[in-house]
Amino acid sequence: MVSAVMSAAEPRAVRRRAWLTNANAWLLLLPAVVLLATFTHYPILATLYHSFFSLSRGGASEFVGLENYTYMLEDDVFWQVLRNNIVFAIATVPTSIALALLMAVWVDKKMAGRSFLRLAFFTPTVLPMIAVANIWLFFYTPNYGLLDQFLKSLGFAGHNWLGDPSTVMSCLAAMVVWKEAGFFMIFYLAALQTIPPELKEAAEVEGASRWYFFRRVTLPLLMPTTLFISINALINSFKLVDQLVIMTKGGPNNASSLLLYYIYEVAFTFQDTAFAATLTVTLIAILAAVALTKFVYLDRRIHYQ
């Protein structure tokens, strides 16, 4: 009789304790879960949902299946901004990485004024994009901007840098590289300082030149950083559009518009939220694909210490 009571009570106590542990864990997770769900997961799902419905100006919206997506594929502006974005990424990602690496290797050396140089390279990063865009707007201003003043002193004619579809992308790319490279330099600098100095000495004893050491040891050891930076730079090239608001508004004739800026226009200028949702889903799909490539493919091919 007594033993029967005991054996029934014991598992109940154990189960109760397990339940308390679980409840405790969930309570601790709750704030983060609520925030993530409200501001990340729910909006993504809602966007996906809306992209399958027609626009509801006043009346009820109705399910239209993939109609919004077919419309998108037929939209010339969509293709243009996508092309712009790809060109922009190709122009900014490798250049800012190369520049960041160059600066990092330079300021990693023991030399006078090193801290000052590091600070100078890092400054563009701490400036807000809006401020940077205003500064560069002045550089590019036709006739009395810095660039034109300089060219005129050399005897060249002035040029409307941001007003010309053939130069506007290069101008924006140059500015973004200037802004981003300093930030990426910090990552390279940190990575360079984790490479033990004995490796350099060992290579020196073996007779390796500095260039050989850089190519065969430094670069491979920096690969994880390079990967991290390139993913970030790529995502940034789709994410950063503040400069367009200040400098070009996507013009002239959409020559400098990027995907995210186009979404902003469609949603808030043209008030077409259904189409904006469709474009957003496309953008998220592109970014997710980039992240996935890193996790499943590149990670396996890189040496991590």
**Residues at the contact surface with another protein, assessed by CB under 8 A:** 196, 198-199, 201-208, 212, 217, 220-221, 303, 305
> Closest separation between CB of residue 209 and another protein, Å?
8
> Closest separation between CB of residue 300 and another protein, Å?
14
Residue whose CB is less far from another protein, 6 or 205 = 205
108 close to 193: Cβ distance less than 8 angstroms: yes
Residue whose CB is less far from another protein, 10 or 204 = 204
Residue whose CB is less far from another protein, 83 or 210 = 210
> CA triplet 22, 23, 26: central angle to 5 degrees?
85
Residue whose CB is less far from another protein, 165 or 196 = 196
Nearest CA to 129 among 62, 183, 79?
183
Contact residues for 273 (Cβ-Cβ < 8 A; gap 6+)? 50, 55, 267
Residue whose CB is less far from another protein, 58 or 197 = 197
> Closest separation between CB of residue 194 and another protein, Å?
10
Residue whose CB is less far from another protein, 57 or 303 = 303
Residue whose CB is less far from another protein, 218 or 257 = 218
Contact residues for 226 (Cβ-Cβ < 8 A; gap 6+)? 97, 101
Residue spans of alpha helices (H) in 195-218? 197-205, 210-213
> Closest separation between CB of residue 105 and another protein, Å?
18
173/180 Cα distance (integer angstroms): 10
Integer Rg of the chain from CA: 27
Q: Which CA distances in Å does 50 have to 66, 131, 267, 273?
A: 11, 35, 13, 8
> Closest separation between CB of residue 114 and another protein, Å?
19
Q: What is the 3-state secondary structure (H, E, C) of 259-278?
A: HHHHHHHHHHHCCCHHHHHH
> Closest separation between CB of residue 7 and another protein, Å?
51
> Closest separation between CB of residue 204 and another protein, Å?
5
State both tokens at 191.
Answer: 């990575």
